[in-house]
Structure 1
Amino acid sequence: MWIILAFILAASRPGGILGCQLPHDWRPQTEACRAELAEIIVFAKVLALHKESYSVYNYLPWQHDTDLLFSAEIELLCDQAWGSMLEVPAGSRFNVTGLGYFPCFSYSVTKDNNYYFFLRMDENYNIVPHGVNFQDPIFTDTADNHRMFASLFQFSNCTPGTQVHSFSPEWEAQEDSRLLCSTVQKALFEEEERVRTLSQKVRSLEKANGHLKEKVKTMKRLLRQAQRETMKEQQTLSLKQLYESKTTQHHPDQETTQGQKSPPHKKVLSKKLKE
């Protein structure tokens, strides 16, 4: 019931379930590959559950009034898995916080049951579930999980009654498979890095292309402006030449008119001389 309520309330909040979309390039990984990336791997029994009123891993406004968040006190049934970063022996006890029902996922355990945990240590030195690749980091105590983890990791010094340390005869082949998984995982990471680098180059080229387009627009605008100014200068020069040519044609007419009017003056002058 609490799980249903959690998802209903998460869906009703702004950006609820819609904000839980996985990355577009996400793909599921096997437990073997995910286990290689987990910081801590333990097989432990849950001794007690403790309600938490607040968790930095939950941002729900109604978290204070529910029992959705809790921590678990666990006891290691075996020494940590080979390759785990936690160096504590079987029988050690500590708290795992960050458990409960969250908007997009749930990390849940029950008292007196055994589980395999993928764990990590946060910046405040709290031990929290390590959901590698956005997948479940808690595995129930089943025969299938026993076989899987016994073939992947070398648990030792287990509590009597647990058979986690009994390895299958195909250990070397499975170890080769594990190494192959590492190779594939490395290749995937390298491919993702290559795609990321190419995407950055594409964005850089698109930005440079945008700058070039702006420069071309500016040059076209300046060219049109220069053409308009050149046309204006040519029109002004043509009008000036036309005006000067008309002025030059007008002056000879004036001289001809003056020449035609001079004879009467000469007649008057000659008449006076006669007198």
Structure 2
Amino acid sequence: MGTFWCQLPHDWRPQTEACRAELAEIIVFAKVLALHKEPYNYLPWQSPTDLLYFAEIELLCDQAWGSMLEVPAGSRFNVTGLGYFSCFSYSVTPNNNYYFFLKMDENYNMVPHGVNFQDAIFPDTADNHRLFASLFQFANCTPDTQVHSYTPEWEAQEDSRFLCSTVQKALFEEEEKVSTLSQKVRSLEKANGHLREKVKTMKRLLRQAQRETAKEKQTLNLKQLYESKTSRTHPHQDTTQDQKEPPLKRALSKTLNK
């Protein structure tokens, strides 16, 4: 499990407590009564160790809306899956109060709900009181628990805002689209580079062909010019022979031919 938590997904982004509170299955304010060593290793990816334990807690206040707990105020139950791991820890001490993000696992054990791979247990501090009181109301509180006073800020936020998780999901989707488009741009730039190389090659071959064509044309022109000069300098053999024959012989030849 430690390795799994150490290697966060590549698209992981930290979330605020407000966003994570919207996604947590159960949120309670409770007192830790006692700690007990885990009697068995219920998590298949962990080896038995003395650093794992469960806490017996007493419910002081429950989440006013959306809770899956549905137990009376002052109820006692166990939260297991606590202890010290390689990359994180879920630790509490007896006789102290905490805010818990919880969920129920497949064996019906109550375990910390580390939404977005972040902390699931918050100590009893004034800052955390203000934080959680501004996010939502608590209900089902024991008579002597007066730490959660309703604030109008909570209702105003619920009436006017989008759900943080919805907005964040949309942002993640936009980031994914941007990433996909960036990959397409890189792919197109690479293809464009290949096309530019092909165009350069074709231009080079075209220039080479043009030079060869011009060379061949020049050679042909020179050949034709040479042949033309040769024909003027050396007339046909019959004409030359006629010019060299004496006039009398030419006359006799003509007479005989008739």
TM-score, structure 1 as length reference: 0.64
C-alpha deviation, 1:40, in angstroms:
1.1
For 2:37 and 2:83, the matched residues in 1 are separated by 11
Q: Does 1:200 pair with 2:183?
A: no
C-alpha deviation, 1:232, in angstroms:
1.1
1:40-79 correspondence to structure 2 within 5 Å: 40-44=26-30, 45-51=32-38, 55=43, 64=47, 66-68=49-51, 70-78=52-60
In the alignment, what sits opposite 2:253?
none
Q: Does 1:210 pair with 2:196?
A: no
For 1:193 and 1:143, the matched residues in 2 are separated by 36
For 2:66 and 2:56, the matched residues in 1 are separated by 17
Which residue of 123, 132, 136 corresponds with 1:140? Answer: 123
Higher relative contact order by CA 8 Å / sep ≥ 6: 1 or 2?
Answer: 2
C-alpha deviation, 1:89, in angstroms:
0.6
For 1:127 and 1:255, the matched residues in 2 are separated by 119
The verdict on how the C-alpha distance between 1:167 and 1:115 changes in structure 2, with shifts beyond 3 A counting, is closer
1:41-120 correspondence to structure 2 within 5 Å: 41-44=27-30, 45-51=32-38, 55=43, 64=47, 66-68=49-51, 70-78=52-60, 80-90=62-72, 91=75, 93-97=77-81, 99-111=82-94, 113-120=96-103
In the alignment, what sits opposite 2:152?
173
C-alpha deviation, 1:239, in angstroms:
0.8
In the alignment, what sits opposite 2:255?
none
1:255 counterpart SS class = coil
C-alpha deviation, 1:197, in angstroms:
3.0
Q: Does 1:154 pair with 2:138?
A: yes
Q: Aligned residue pairs: how many?
A: 242
Q: Which structure 1 segments of 5+ residues have no match?
A: 1-9, 271-275
2:185 counterpart SS class = helix
The verdict on how the C-alpha distance between 1:22 and 1:235 changes in structure 2, with shifts beyond 3 A counting, is closer
1:72 counterpart SS class = strand
In the alignment, what sits opposite 1:131?
114
Q: Does 1:36 pair with 2:8?
A: no
C-alpha deviation, 1:66, in angstroms:
4.7
The verdict on how the C-alpha distance between 1:32 and 1:187 changes in structure 2, with shifts beyond 3 A counting, is closer
Structure 1 stretch 235-244 or stretch 78-87: which is displaced more? 78-87
For 1:180 and 1:104, the matched residues in 2 are separated by 39
C-alpha deviation, 1:83, in angstroms:
2.6
In the alignment, what sits opposite 1:232?
212
Q: Which structure 2 segments of 5+ residues have no match?
A: 251-258
C-alpha deviation, 1:137, in angstroms:
1.7
Q: Does 1:254 pair with 2:234?
A: yes
Q: What is the identity percentage for the equivalent residue pairs of Structure 1 and Structure 2?
A: 30
- Tell me if structure 2 keeps the 8 A contact 1:47–1:73: yes
2:139 counterpart SS class = coil
Write the deviation string for residues 143-183 of structure 1: whole angstroms up to 9, x where unpaired. Answer: 7656765674323153x6x415x653xx2414235527954
- Tell me if structure 1 keeps the 8 A contact 2:90–2:121: yes
In the alignment, what sits opposite 2:201?
221
The verdict on how the C-alpha distance between 1:213 and 1:150 changes in structure 2, with shifts beyond 3 A counting, is closer
The verdict on how the C-alpha distance between 1:121 and 1:206 changes in structure 2, with shifts beyond 3 A counting, is farther
C-alpha deviation, 1:108, in angstroms:
0.8
Paired AA for residue 96 in structure 1: T
Paired AA for residue 43 in structure 1: F
> RMSD value over aligned CA atoms?
4.3
